[in-house]
Structure 1
């Protein structure tokens, strides 16, 4: 028998599924098997990728709000739930699924992710807030906000190709982005201004992994109360090869072309307008952005210790082609 007194919601991106009705029916049955009632189904729109939908769920008394979509859906829902007692559940349905991967969730198994969301353990994590350029709008992020190469790749990636081949679509745009010449960057962390450095990418990381098997932030963690701000400044193709190899093998600490600083308030200034991104969402070219940490403000549902899984590069079965 389901517990009708419980209220929960799934905020979903309808573009991620070919047969949404079947997915909804199936997940409702999985929930019923765990004695949960049918969720509130709240769809995102092109204009609003999840913030007002998450707020609607909170206003209706939801104790759990699951984000079923890509990284953009997750960060907008997380931003609303930050500072509340409402728990974030993750139902990966995107290309990156970066928070789910960093938490070790089985991103290729939607049923198992829902089971974890409804019966797993609560974990308190940090969330970041970024402002770009002259805008006063605060953008939430759970993975990273940055400027340079990563943002170039996101901006150049064809959405149609990404829907067909997944993360492999980033390869073509990455090759093109590598040819760019970079910029002078000045990074200020907790009031300490670092010398201007010719750079190719600056990332303010809330988690170690940015996908692709790369732990960009050697000292990053989602629950340590600090950002790991990473500046990457390779010289030429061989410089990039060295940086990437060290990151993949986990031996990159001390690399002369990678600098990392811990702190809770970060200002990044660059010498020319440059694309930026926040959790994979592209931001128009800017010359400055700021990030501030909101430590321990978000509760996310994770697998119980005996149910822990490890990150996988597979894409969930019901994702749209």
Structure 2
């Protein structure tokens, strides 16, 4: 195996000159932040070579988190791209790969690995096995099982007044859930997210100026014939828009959400009582219905289904996309996308 020295987007290996005639060219994008990435890479490459694939590998960095690497591999002539990393690496590369209609494989080596879990990849080893089998199948007869994952759009205004536009995959949120993300570095791995969530439970509610939705349906799946919907100013703990049922852990917080759906499952939590005992009782009640698989039964868990939502805030609040904090924002608008990432997924 070629030695990997993580650098700023450096091409790490290109074995086409030393291998038999080309059958399929595979680009590999790896995020070296997690030790699991390099272990997975060491297992993957020999199996790809044995299956008859040629590869070229590129590492990400803070400055170049995946977009540039995807562009380089497409220009190189990749027939498929494998991403070794977490949801942040996928989010950085997905818009480029989706635009190119590139066949994409995911090998989860991040912390949460939300997208990978929701397309049926149970572990890093399972993902490697699926990838190698699928590549061999493509070489043999050109077949593979694909899922189209929409690339969604987020427009947001930070506390300094500047507006930004970017893309994301599965989850956007502002308020309490973003506070949990903000504190996850306090401890390693999933323990950090658990600690951040515990701290966020006791954070004060905030005021949502407006919550406007378009093309909506009610939380039970019934149609809402109005063009717009929402609420007046009200205190809430968090507002989230999701296309995954289980954004963290095994509990289905968004039971109606589907990763390849057109619409988001939107959840507004709160208002949570200020007094400590009442707040603890409220969270205990929410935890109970979530564990029972019916979170929508709690009066503080308010769901809608929509393809677009704008959240305006009276004061800046922490905001995240796919579990990556984007800062304190005054406004967040998310729109369901039509452009799709073509991901190879295990059969059910």
Q: Shared fold by TM > 0.5? A: yes
1:45 aligns with 2:61: yes
Match of 1:188 in 2: 212
3-state DSSP class of the match of 2:245? coil
**From 193, 200, 204, the counterpart of 2:241:** 204
Q: CA deviation at 1:135?
A: 4.4
1:248 aligns with 2:291: yes
CA contact (8 A) 1:3 1:35 kept: no
Unaligned runs of 5+ residues in structure 1 are 306-321
Q: d(CA) in 1 for partners of 2:150 and 2:45?
A: 30
Q: CA deviation at 1:108?
A: 4.1
Q: Deviations over 1:185-220 (max 9, x none)?
A: 231111433233311111111222202112222211
CA contact (8 A) 1:84 1:298 kept: no
Q: CA deviation at 1:116?
A: 5.7
Unaligned runs of 5+ residues in structure 2 are 1-18, 138-143, 215-227, 274-278
**From 67, 75, 100, the counterpart of 1:84:** 100
Match of 2:194 in 1: 171
TM-score by length of 2: 0.79
3-state DSSP class of the match of 1:137? strand
Root mean square deviation, CA, Å: 2.2
1:231 aligns with 2:274: no
3-state DSSP class of the match of 1:256? coil
- Give the aligned length: 299
CA contact (8 A) 2:182 2:325 kept: yes
Q: d(CA) in 1 for partners of 2:163 and 2:98?
A: 19
Select the structure with the greater relative contact order (CA < 8 A; seq sep ≥ 6). 1
CA contact (8 A) 2:243 2:265 kept: yes
The correspondence of residues 1-321 of structure 1 with structure 2, limited to 5 A, is 4-17=22-35, 20=38, 23-37=40-54, 39-109=55-125, 111-115=128-132, 118=135, 119=137, 120-133=144-157, 134-158=161-185, 161-162=187-188, 166-185=189-208, 186-190=210-214, 191-233=228-270, 234-235=272-273, 236-295=279-338, 297-305=340-348
Change (3 A) 1:52 1:213: same
CA contact (8 A) 1:223 1:295 kept: no
TM-score by length of 1: 0.86
Change (3 A) 1:248 1:77: farther
Q: Indicate the larger mover: 290-299 or 279-288.
A: 290-299
